[in-house]
Amino acid sequence: MYKALVEKDISYEGQFVTGVKTTGIFCRTTCTARKPLRENVEFFVTAKEAILNGYRPCKICSPLENIGSTPPQIQKLLAELNENPSLKLKDDDIISRGIEPNTLRRWFKKNHGITFQAYQRMQRLNTAFTKIRKGESVAGVAFDAGYESLSGFTDSYTSLIGTTPSKSKDKEIIHMTRLETPLGPMFACATEEGICLLEFTDRRMLETELKALSKEFNAVVLQGASKYFEPLKQQLDEYFKGTRKEFDLPLVLKGTDFQKEVWKELLRIPYGSTRSYKQQSIALNNLKAIRAVASANGMNRIAIIIPCHRVIGEDGSMTGYGGGIWRKKRLLDIENSQTSLNMF
């Protein structure tokens, strides 16, 4: 555990916390603060245990919060923008809300891959796109969105959407949001029909997946609200607490017929169980397609809900997982612990 602390090994995240005797604080494994000497630390299984032993949470790594959680001031700012997307907040406005502009910029670049100003613009244009598709006039939508000129609105709109306002009525929109989980933040995407993507934000090839979605749906991916995001968040929270074993959200799957069959078969793997790729192939009545099954599993864009984490090597080993092997192990641990409890 001390080795994991020194190396900031994220695979141990959530398995223990470290109490530092010299400061009286406790930290998560990945804390970036200077590491204490071995004789000055003790380890606890839970944060509650550390608190009962007189330690207080570290202000640097915030061990009581989810990995990558949104600071309270930024949460309020996002809620304000969601309530009124036409807001155009500048540095003075941000400072008046108790946030340092450079801190906000760094947080957005790290967690959304764009600046706060770009995020605001995306929110406004998302709302504008929806209104135009419903038949509202371009001029009225432009001024409602806070633009002072029609030409300025058209330039911004065309740059982001890929076509002019008057020609965008046939284009679809994919709404995207950021969700926080005990295993790190995730991006969720939804069309009008349902959830089409759920991935950890640090997943390799995520940008490629988003581009593919945009092409397959003839849509633009924009930060914005969807009626599916709140129930998705609630069901994920219940899953991580061990009180939900199945999800009942509408899913929108884009892929070949074979890929869709593989993903549907993944949904049939019971909670708390695992299968090998060979067993998956047998279930699909195609024993020769083991590699194709593995490839289709890797193309799954809806993590956790379509449980590709339940497929392991034939020898029981943790095989590849887009969100990281450590997350795959943690997801299986969560399910196995609940299954074990239900046996008593």
In the annotation, is 308 catalytic?
yes
Active-site residue, from 31, 58, 189, 308: 308
β-pairing verdict for 186-190 and 195-200: antiparallel
In angstroms, the CA 125 to CA 101 distance is 22
In angstroms, the CA 56 to CA 175 distance is 39
In angstroms, the CA 242 to CA 216 distance is 35
**159 class by beta-carbon count within 10 Å (0-12 exposed, 13-18 middle, 19+ buried):** exposed
Where are any strands of DSSP class E within the chain?
A: 17-20, 25-27, 41-44, 56-57, 172-179, 186-190, 195-200, 219-223, 275-276, 311-312
Q: Looking at the DSSP assignment, which residues form a beta bridge with residue 198? A: 188, 302
In angstroms, the CA 114 to CA 244 distance is 34
**Closest by Cα among 221, 222, 187, 182 to 203:** 187
Give catalytic residues, as residue numbers. Answer: 308
